[in-house]
Amino acid sequence: MAKAPLIVKYNLIKEFLILNPAVVFNRFTSNPHLFSSGCFQCLPIKFGQNVMDGEDWAEGTQFLPGSSAINEALHEDKAGIGYYGVGYVDGVKALDIAHDADSGYYSPLEAENVNEGHYPLARPLYFYTNGVPGGQVKEFLDFVLSTEGQQLIEEAGFYQLTPEMLETNERVFEEIY
């Protein structure tokens, strides 16, 4: 009998608000230019649930094809604000944010804040497979979870798996093989 698709958490992508470094907070509060990823299954949903409290996107929000495009737009728009994965941050300012008015503010640029759940817009990124992976797919997943694979993830600007996440993935593989 075929098992359900395998879900492997392989690193933490940090989503966070990014501002052009020239922006002064009160300058954009009345008329910000919001940039969002065009990936409607991922980032906007997380952002909408955790920041916008279910409200609609502001008129004029630009949905761009991905993180690189948002980063480029923020470099050109001094009133721009956007959010995307930490691996794409280049020349813009990441904001420290809090869960609520009674919580402390945390930087997304510190892995500990993301891994311990202090930074409220962090989410895991998963690989999905069509059934139990085999062949090259299994080899690829093994590589991603290896020390070398995790080092490459960090070199790309993302966070490595925590020891607990690695143990969880090992247990999943033990169960299905």
pLDDT band at 41 (very low <50, low <70, confident <90, very high): very low
pLDDT in tens, 47-102: 666 666 667 767 777 888 888 888 888 888 877 888 788 888 888 888 888 887 78
Same domain for 90 and 152, yes or no, is no
Structural domain that includes position 165: 130-176
Question: Residue 155: inside a domain, yes or no?
Answer: yes
Residue among 84, 92, 2 at smallest CA distance from 35:
84
| pLDDT of 136 | 93
Same domain for 26 and 100, yes or no, is yes
Q: Is 80 exceeded by the pLDDT of residue 28?
A: no
Same domain for 56 and 137, yes or no, is no
The 8-class DSSP code of residue 134 comes to -
Domain stop point among 84, 99, 123: 123
- 13 beta partners: 123
Question: Residue 6: inside a domain, yes or no?
Answer: no
Same domain for 20 and 84, yes or no, is yes
Tally the domains of the chain.
Answer: 2
3-state helix, strand, coil in the chain (%, to 5): 35, 20, 40
Question: Residue 149: inside a domain, yes or no?
Answer: yes
Question: Residue 153: inside a domain, yes or no?
Answer: yes
| pLDDT of 152 | 92
Q: Rounded CA gap, 62 and 111, in Å?
A: 29
Question: Residue 3: inside a domain, yes or no?
Answer: no
Question: Residue 5: inside a domain, yes or no?
Answer: no
Q: Rounded CA gap, 97 and 120, in Å?
A: 7
Q: Is 70 exceeded by the pLDDT of residue 36?
A: no
